[in-house]
Amino acid sequence: MTRRMFLGTVAALAVSSLTPAFAQQRHEEVVYGHKLGVALSMDVTLPEKSKSNGIGILWMVSGGWKSDHGSVSPELGKAFADRGYTFFQVVHGTAPRFILPEIMQDIHRSVRFVRTNASRWGIDPNRLGISGGSAGGHLTCMMAAYGGPGDPKAKDPVDRASSAVQCAACFYPPTDFLNYGKDGAKAMLNPFLKGYWPAFGITDKTSPDEIETLSKTLSPIYGINKSTCPLFLIHGEADILVPIQQSERLIAKLKEEGVPCDLVRRPGKGHGWPGIEKDAALLMDWFDKYLLKK
């Protein structure tokens, strides 16, 4: 969940040799919205036209809920585009300037933007997937849980579109800040995690009730229901920062609701590991399973 750890994951994915040389189109810093004088943008990699499968995948560029264009990976875009995906690397308003409720607004906006502009990218607006790792995995699960209809009265047509995704797959996400590592253990009261308070908008003056409300509101597990999209997780069993219990809890809830899901466990692995680039193919396999037209 720290930026350094997350960038290690991206760097590993970036050196993937899943496919040979390519002839793709890349569009840098495509603006998907504005707020407080700040342009929100994404990096878009398109597959060769003959290889396109019509699926759009949004990757959450986020580590510790910090996000910047220096963390965008052209190589990661290449790996997905070589499998036929149109790949959107979404940069959101970064913590601590923006807190998680505001960051979530950015992510909803990014999905709505991609859906509204689907014809521009040659993708099906009803076949969108989402992915990321750590904090990006958290944002992925939040969208799987809470994506939904836009505002039909909005002036901007983008804001009228749905932010629902049709499939999700990610690495080691925090999913339940009220039961973190074990039942009843509250993440935001753990001194080890106090460094993440600014991302939640928590200070020493925030009341216990406010912390409780924020922790629940920003935990994807409480938004899971029978209509949640298929969700796939990969998690190291030795992860200290985000315990694998977080993925286990989410999977149990998904199964309870009858939602297609799976958890791949990596014995002895922590928060990122050497060779993680090979697991990118498993994310794509999951998207193939639920988004490819038969």
Rounded mean pLDDT for each run of 10 residues along the chain, 294 residues in total: 44 41 76 92 95 97 95 94 97 95 98 97 97 98 97 96 98 98 96 95 96 97 98 98 98 98 97 89 98 85
Angle between helices 135-146 and 100-116 (to 10 degrees): 60
The β-bridge partners of 90 are 42, 60
Q: Phi/psi at 26 (nearest 5 deg)?
A: -125, 130
Q: How far is CA 145 from the centre of its chain?
A: 12
The helix (H) or strand (E) run that includes residue 46 is strand 38-46
Distance, CA of 52 to CA of 165 (rounded, Å): 19
**Whole-number pLDDT of residue 276:** 87
Tokens 């707020």 sit at which residue?
35
pLDDT of residue 294: 64
Crossing angle for the helix pair 280-291 and 74-81, to the nearest 10 degrees: 40
Dihedral in degrees, nearest 10, Cα atoms 104, 255, 114, 70? 60
- Structure tokens, 248: 């286990």
The predicted structure's pLDDT at residue 151: 96
* pLDDT computed for residue 20 by the predictor: 38
Q: State whether residue 285 is helix, strand or coil.
A: helix
Structural domains of the chain ordered from first start: 3-291 (3.40.50.1820)
Other Cβ atoms closer than 10 A to 248: 15
